[in-house]
A and B are shown apart, each in its own frame.
Chain A
């Protein structure tokens, strides 16, 4: 720098000679200031990505400079997020590049007291050796005399945070190895959604998409903390409000969602069926149903068989209950004169006469209705006047007649006026000109009657004519980036990709009998054979051919439930010995975390893949049982492998968002150190296993030898090509070319397809999930952005947006309609219907499959083409919902005092899974308060992706409980002080937040105090605390094995919890005072 320049750059010189004589602006800028440029501009490249947190699926731009990610922010082109991000999405730079991430493999040897280092290659080889050994040791060719060819020695958990391609390889490899205990977060979050929506409409996904909320005239958010858990999706509620829509929030807590609602309705936790049932009663008794819609598009007119008896006849239970086994014989619920195909909800069992056994109904068959409703006869008598006492409409009316406003008030604690205001809002905002939408999340799903919660809303929305129409529908908000994907391409025990049920164990079952059992005679589920054969071709490639039943015999067989909670039992029983955790943290996030940890402590080996050392990886050294002395480090034999995982910015793949939309994210860089994608891990694990077993002559190795496992790898890390996996999922024709729709699938082995409902995502060899046409360049449907299943439709069942003649119900609510001239369905969205099937078409008597759908059957995946007000099959706990109290409840069931709980709920009795006396029983006063768990905006699920992130941790730095001033007074709890919370399962402590947002509720003839507990915390991480799930029990919905954590009784007292053995003593004392025995709370009747 010359002297002259130096002088001229001197601020005083500039001040005296320039335009800024006061020296407050231009003259004082330093060279650094003048030269600074944002790193969004100096970046070498911008990589398109998707936020890895919740399932809204906000698009991200990842800025990369010198192979480092320097910034992540929203992509304004996205029609869903419009460039916005919530605090978690905004923190994803710190999540992915922060110091809390691990990059080296760790190993804890049996009885070891500390971690050791292992190199990746050695560790992977050790895991390969253990998988082969444990699988062999736990191998079962038969169980009870029928073939099962499987191993119960190994289990895998996790997948909802992973890519579809990763889930595909996980399920494929384990299935090839005969491992059936494959599960993910979908089990504990939304499995009841699949059962509830699937049996009602034919598909288990949300019926609409987020942007469509703006078209609603009324939005009821219930069982969801929308604004907090899905903040960016909530913009569409605000958009609807801006257009004058009424927003109602029904919740036990006044949350940030309530703060933005027009009407907040406080409700007693666990009573939503009573509330919604009350609205159904209001609609039916007042004649407010949308009659034309109900008559044509639902099964309202169908006649039900004489064997069916209602809860009104049997004091709170339906016909068919076996009080000994605690199971219903659901054949008593069938349509008149129709033999329902699925006597126990599992049609695959039809070939055996042993269908009355427990194993069948416990197999979560209901979840296979994710894409295809329950089987039932398509041709049954009906009464279109809706007056016949056995028609569904009349049966429904009678069933809900008890749900009066007074009953709602008594059960839910909702004042009559408030209740009627909600009724009015819904009725006024439904009909040809108007639509209302329901939004829910895990506040509905996580109950012992979870699937029935969703059924209640489905019935109501069908009666109001709100399904398949703009601004209507039921929005299921899912909470992991690809939890919809991990249901569609399931890492779930009971289904294969595309909701094809996993086969059950039968003698002599072959492919034909399996297909015969699960297909329906009407609708697209009728093409089942094409879907199954194409999947088997994708799994086993050339080895699968007509001569060997396409390797159908290779598939391992189920015998009952192998859900994650039943797997924990298998661990405790010493049956399951090896466990993979793929981005899931059950030691914090699953119900009864003690059972989870004790199960893991009984394993031979455990593999944890995550970003940081989560609680599920370290329980052996610092878990709560170590603190109390129940476990000693030196006694724990479990070998633990920790593999660092790659972040979403370090791998390519697709996430399926909450509205079935697959969005591709591209790798921005290679993962550092020994971090690897789960695609890499599964591919190389499978490759090495296959290599080791390639010369084996043992018949148990045949399936894995036949498994098609050839994927191109790329880059310095030999990363398998995610796009190649996507292409396999999409499917190929006989020449290997990409398919473009599932209607092209063949049942003769000439096509292959890894997931039939995803067929089309790679149409024309183009990655349709990677499409990113900005929303500003297309209409509000934004069909050119990414790709949604099925067939890129955004609003499901949209045939119902038109009247029976194919005309829109109103111009204001037009979506798709019949174009008489072109003889095709057309409109804003892609019609969810056979494109050229005229509204007037009526199928011949003998038509099968899609050919049997008439022009007025909008629910094309249903066995009868109709929305189900009454479910003659598909669910195991009732054809219609009934309010039952939660498993642990201080209140006696006000609706049916004779029946406290869901009679067929599933409980897993165990000394560490004790239940509470309920509803005024002696001892129930020991646990007098209700707890409901929930999410905060600032944290994520079990904390693995937020508690280690300083920018998020500082916003909600401690575990707390929310209590009302009244409860604080009653129990002398001090604001910001400590409270101890106790259930029969555990004791935890939390800081106290006294707030009027929590208010006591008058219900069941008493005052009920409710306590809010965010469930994000655990003892590890940057912000630490006790886990709320120490308190929860394994009490499950019998349809899908989801746990009840949204309503449970407990006690609360001031002060911190005891440490060490004193803690177990306190727990013991509570159990003794409550008089808890192994039988407590396990009764079927009463």
Chain B
């Protein structure tokens, strides 16, 4: 999506669910830049947590506790008011999708490739993800160590924003969802509204906090701190349309080399939140990573709820009116029966 000033009318559309091609435009941003987001390719994540630290450094998010969890190398535990990037570690005794490696590339001129500079084009990448070890003598089968950096999804339909009574949460011109600290009163309505459990209130300052996709940096044409730091480009930042194309090619490539488990999560504009601004390539079911399998924007049914509530109110009103009308009629024009 490129910048657009021509917007379709807001009237008669469900703005809380379903397809939403111009999320920034519909939030009143004229001449806005293309919608941006994150594509987190977990198949190349090395679990270094640079994203977590870079995020905290840039956004001055406070350190939030020294808890040794025993959950593999994950001592962060989950997203929250003071954790805007969270790397999950999943140890699996699961032999699957062993990639075909050592692909013959004798005809590839590696120096010429190198001369192109950094970054192998996705189409040419044969990179293989976290793969299992061969079975050992003891019959123990391959071990996988999945790592995945989670973040606010910047939903197309963001319930946190829809329920915010103060206007602290807003949709930016980049299509992202951001809390304004100076507006937020800490009411916490947004907290249960989020289908992913991302946003939370920080007890120390009473405000709700979450990833801003580095809104301030975007305004200056800079990429978010986490994506900039990521050593292996597991976190990729860019226009959402491009990221979706790139991700589709990547999944296709992984399937081609035998990693059948590779799948995208949060990329589909038709899903329960209208597609995520931050979506993922996973190597297992979303639940394995602690992600809801089928998230739905909690305000999806709001219009029909309002309709039903409205209808109910009207019905009630009608009933009441009818009663009054009937009473009025009775007092003004006594029925014969009553008279009887």
Name A's B-contacting residues (CB within 8 A).
11, 18-30, 32-33, 36-38, 40-41, 71-74, 82-91, 93-94, 211, 214-215, 217-218, 227-228, 231-232, 234-235, 238-239, 241-244, 246-247, 254, 256-264, 266, 415, 417-418, 421, 425, 428-429, 433-434, 470-471, 775-776, 779-780, 811-814, 828, 936-938, 950-958, 960, 975-976, 991, 993, 995-997, 999, 1002, 1022-1023
Contacts and interface: CB of A to CB of B under 8 A. Distances in A.
B10 A262 contact: no
A37 B70 contact: no
Report, nearest first, the 4 A-B pairs whose CB atoms are least far apart: A20-B28, A25-B27, A28-B167, A957-B66
A238 B182 contact: no
B332 interface: no
A995 B70 CA distance: 10
A238 B127 contact: yes
> Which residue, of A214, A241, A434, has the highest number of chain B Cβ atoms within 10 A?
A241
Contact of A244 (B108, B162, B172, B220): B108
Interface in B240-276: none
A244 B68 contact: no
Contacts of B125: 242-243
Given A38-B220, A953-B66, 6 more contacts: A26-B27, A33-B170, A74-B229, A87-B50, A244-B103, A951-B63
Interface stretch (B114-122, B196-204, B300-308, B313-321): B114-122
Interface residues of B, number: 96
Contacts of A937: 47-49
Interface string B186-227: 000000000000000000000000000011110110100100
> Which residue, of A21, A33, A417, A434, has the highest number of chain B Cβ atoms within 10 A?
A33
A238 B110 CA distance: 14
B48 A25 contact: no
A812 B108 CA distance: 8
B75 interface: yes
Given A30-B183, A74-B228, A256-B46, A951 B53 contact: yes
> Which residue, of B50, B130, B231, has the highest number of chain A Cβ atoms within 10 A?
B231
Interface string B68-105: 11101101100000000000000101000001011111
A2 to B, nearest CB: 21
A234 B231 contact: yes
A705 to B, nearest CB: 49
Contact of B101 (A72, A246, A258, A812): A246
Given A262-B131, A951-B63, A234 B108 contact: no
B7 to A, nearest CB: 8
B222 A261 contact: no
B287 interface: no
Contacts of B296: none
28 contacts: A19-B28, A19-B29, A19-B30, A21-B28, A24-B162, A27-B28, A33-B178, A37-B220, A72-B57, A74-B229, A86-B229, A90-B50, A90-B53, A94-B57, A214-B114, A227-B46, A232-B231, A242-B125, A242-B127, A262-B99, A433-B106, A775-B118, A780-B114, A780-B115, A812-B110, A951-B53, A958-B66, A999-B140
B50 A997 contact: no
B154 interface: no
Interface of B is mostly: loop
A1023 B171 contact: no
A957 B67 contact: yes
B66 A256 contact: no
Contacts of B220: 37-38, 40-41
Nearest to A955: B49
Contacts of A428: 102
A84 B180 contact: no
B231 A256 contact: no
B236 to A, nearest CB: 12
A501 to B, nearest CB: 39
Nearest to A778: B117
Contact of B49 (A41, A776, A938): A938
Contacts of B131: 261-262
A24 B106 contact: no
Contacts of B118: 82, 775-776
Nearest to A76: B228
Given A256-B145, A937-B49, A234 B180 contact: no
B151 interface: no
Interface of B: 7, 10, 15, 24, 26-30, 44, 46-50, 52-54, 56-58, 63-70, 72-73, 75-76, 91, 93, 99, 101-106, 108-111, 113-115, 117-118, 120, 124-131, 133-134, 136-138, 140, 143-145, 147, 161-162, 167-168, 170-173, 178, 180, 182-183, 214-217, 219-220, 222, 225, 228-233
Nearest to A216: B110
> Which residue, of A247, A951, A975, has the highest number of chain B Cβ atoms within 10 A?
A951
A85 B50 CA distance: 7
A623 B149 CA distance: 39
Contact of A84 (B57, B73, B111, B228): B228
Contact of B27 (A22, A93, A1022): A22
B230 A84 contact: yes
B24 A29 contact: no
B180 A29 contact: yes
> Which residue, of A256, A257, A260, A471, has the highest number of chain B Cβ atoms within 10 A?
A260
Contacts of A254: 133, 143, 145
Given A26-B27, A89-B50, A256-B145, A957 B68 contact: yes
A231 B46 contact: yes
Nearest to A82: B118
Nearest to B167: A28
Given A37-B219, A828-B111, A244 B105 contact: yes
A231 B50 contact: yes
A38 B57 contact: no
A254 B146 CA distance: 12
B117 A776 contact: yes
B91 to A, nearest CB: 6
Given A37-B216, A86-B50, A235 B231 contact: yes
> Which residue, of A23, A74, A84, A91, has the highest number of chain B Cβ atoms within 10 A?
A84
A425 B101 CA distance: 10
A25 B172 contact: yes
Contacts of A90: 50, 53-54, 57, 225, 229
Contact of B63 (A261, A780, A953): A953
B27 A775 contact: no
Contacts of A231: 46, 48, 50, 231-232
Contact of A952 (B53, B91, B182): B53
Contacts of B93: 996
Contacts of B49: 87, 937-938, 955
A215 B46 contact: no
Contacts of A996: 91, 93, 140, 143
Nearest to A239: B120
Contacts of A263: 101, 133-134
B110 A243 contact: yes
Contacts of A1022: 66
B53 A87 contact: yes
Contacts of A243: 105, 108, 110, 113, 120, 124-126
B30 to A, nearest CB: 6
A294 B178 CA distance: 63
A73 B232 contact: no
Contacts of B128: 241, 262
Contacts of B29: 19-20, 25-26
A1041 B91 CA distance: 39
A812 B225 CA distance: 38
B118 to A, nearest CB: 5
Nearest to A425: B102
> Which residue, of B73, B99, B222, has the highest number of chain A Cβ atoms within 10 A?
B73
Contacts of B64: 954
Contact of A991 (B68, B104, B136): B68
Nearest to B93: A996
A960 B68 contact: yes
